[in-house]
Each structure stands twice: as C-alpha cells, then as structure tokens.
Amino acid sequence: MTTQTDIPSLASLEDIPYLDKAGKLPESLETKIGVYAILDREKVLQFVGYSRDVYLSLKQHIVRQPQNCHWLKVQTIEKPSRTILENTMNAWIAENGVTPSGNGEDKEKWTESIDVKPLMTDEEKANYEKVSWDEVAQAKVLKNVARRVEAEILAVLKSRGVQEEIRFNPKLKDSGLLDLK
C-alpha cells in the first residue's frame, strides 16, 4: 500500500515542456492516470490536478488557460486510487508553500467550462436582453457569442503554436458554454 513517504516531491520531478517542438501535448500521457502540476513560463506553479486521462485534462487546461500552461510535472500511477491521487496533489500544494491560484481563487477558470456570458460585448448584451422573452433567440445570441470567443481562443492557441485538434462541444454553445468534445 502506498503511503505518504512514497509520494515523489514536486521538486524531484522533471520539468516537461507543455508543448513539444511540433506543438503537441506529450502523447505518452494519453490514457494515463496520474497527478500533474502546471507551471507558467517562469516555472511558477499555477495548478495541480489529477485525472484518469492526464492528456485530455492537459488539453482542457491549455484551452482554458493558455497563457499559464508552459511547463508540467507528472506522476502517473498504474492502478486508479483516488486516495493516492489526492494525497499526492495535496502534498505538492503543501510543498509549494502557497496554494496555486488554479487551486484557489481561480479554480473555476481551470476546471469548469468557459462561460461566455461575462465575455459579451455591450452590443451582444443588448441583443441578448432585447430578446429576453424568447429562449430560442437568446440561445442563438449565446451561440454567436460562443463562436466569437471560440475563434479568439483558437487564435491564442495558434499563436502559442498549438497543433492539437481542438473541437468544442457544439451542444453547449446554445447555453453559452465552451468545453472540449
């Protein structure tokens, strides 16, 4: 049974570039269960999480927080154990000395679908309120806002050199949300 002493320190793990030279996430992490730490350009810890598919989680994070995803540290495990994953995550956060913003005040920005409503322009807000009595028309406005925000996100990812296929769930756009499919 794994104990606290079996948890590798965050400092002992190798810094891995978030994207390789071809603009891809580390394919070796596809379908891997593990704990991961995301660091910014200056290698300051931004977020610690765990996942049943580290690769897919990393893809979600770069879409949600592209400016903060430059380096990572990963510890994979063979058999799923929420206790081991949570203990490792908590140990890394404690080792850091301060809770990363992605595990604190900015947690929703790292872990939840992107809500485009707060990103509406004044014109979009006016159009949305103008049709407040019509749910179908409001959904259409939200879908258009989601498409605009999606295009902005894809432009940022392109400027970062991301070459991953990024597909947003079209069913969520009507409700003003963006999340990967």
CA dist list (Å): 123 to 42, 147, 164, 178: 38, 15, 33, 20
Write down the CATH superfamily of domain 4-111: GIY-YIG endonuclease (3.40.1440.10)
Per-residue pLDDT reduced to its tens digit, 157-170: 999 999 999 999 99
Task: Characterise 2 by phi-psi region: left (phi > 0), alpha (psi -120 to 50), beta (else).
Answer: beta
- Look at residue 89 and tell me whether its pLDDT is greater than 60: yes
Give the model's confidence band at 79: pLDDT under 50 very low, under 70 low, under 90 confident, else very high.
confident
In the chain, where the domains are located:
4-111, 114-178
pLDDT digits (tens, 9 = 90+) for 109-132: 999 999 999 999 999 999 999 999
